[in-house]
Structure 1
């Protein structure tokens, strides 16, 4: 049987001889450097259309591990930045740059061209009032459509349905977050706050430090009383169709991503749906460990909340008013 990646990983994990492990890692590093700086960059057309690492993940490796732009293959990075910019401007791209990383100044150049030098300076000196003035001016006076939130060490942006996470201390940005794991509970809470402000402002958010984020939404009592006591085959209301046919399937799907889901009735007989969300899901990886919560998992949770809120909560409030 030929040598494969599992053999190498097992060796690096179990081998006690530090010298041999270091030598193996050095061989890997030498091969990666040759691939990036010689083989791939040598043919710029191939580098543009068919990079030798899938979706340029070796750029992510270098950026996330704190290497500077001087330590990156420059042409490859310029193509990478261009793909992100084209995707942002809804132009044709070779691949969708999900979970792509840029240095902060390059992100600002792509998304806030014209103000990026000022923004980079203000962010570097934590002059957030000046930063927010520029953002708000672009939103209100230049017809740019985005939302943002500063939370702890992250600046969170939402452009249409695309989420971008600035890691302020590291000075890099995760663009078009999708399959990446959510890095911290603070970031999870920040994203929940941003989406709540946009889509479901009256939903209750509770941040339980080091444990989870708790989201409480309600289905009003008058919606519940309007639902048939038993499922029927005749034409029925939208609420009947949803709560008899789909609601429980939705909850069952969410159990994959929520620590816990509680259903209660409050003193006014409204149904309370309480979702407890942490950084771990109830899915398991190949090693038998719980999988981390990803951005796309959180989006599924938000889809459920938005549906309940817009179809059965906010409409009912409007009728009552």
Structure 2
């Protein structure tokens, strides 16, 4: 796979293509407002507020067609420097851009224009939209504004862009091959695991084939650990909140843990990792330096409270 984040030229090209996407969406959906359009590991995306409208699979070819028209027109991408006050005036009708601008320090702000479209952006960009012609829109999804589930769901459209048609086709072929190895599809087809809403979203149930694979992997790992001098232990899937406060996890990781439960005037939480339990186990007896290293291992279940988008 291509390194969109660390390849400077590919990063710049994909960010410019995100602006082409935004311009095409604005042509097709004049009411559209835009949050951010960063380069990510798989290419780029743009988060868009379309009001009451939502994007479907049928809409992506229409957006692509408009993007191709924009690229063919070949407008230059022009950088502008404006003051914060000028930027606030220019984007006064877009609450998303206003939020971004208000979060910036006072001083010079940059925008980029291509034909009839101007966007708030640090840049850099390629010289002309014509260089963005080898692109493909990959998928769409919903995304909470600022990643906060209490905020509005925006339309997120993903795409990729390459300098040449050949590079794009090679990348798309890799994506097709990856679909064939998609664990979600294989898990269902091979009877490895299943999900059921009545059990809980994101909670896997291992079917007989899957548990066989899991057991063989566990046996392999445990045997390797025994060869390396580890001893195996088992600790509870619950932990007292005091334990995680002492370990530091509560201060730094609380938002990614399941809510605490009150039991017998004590607060307990499903553990997100094993190490605090193991630290307590180690501390329960005195150790000489001759005992070191102390090697303990556990095949355990950990529980992380993740947003639904992270699970899929």
Q: TM-score range by the shorter chain?
A: under 0.3
Provide the TM-score with structure 2 as the length reference: 0.24
Quick one: higher RCO (CA 8 Å, sep 6+), 1 or 2? 2
Provide the TM-score with structure 1 as the length reference: 0.23
Q: Which has the larger radius of gyration?
A: 2
Structure 1 or 2: more helix by fraction: 1
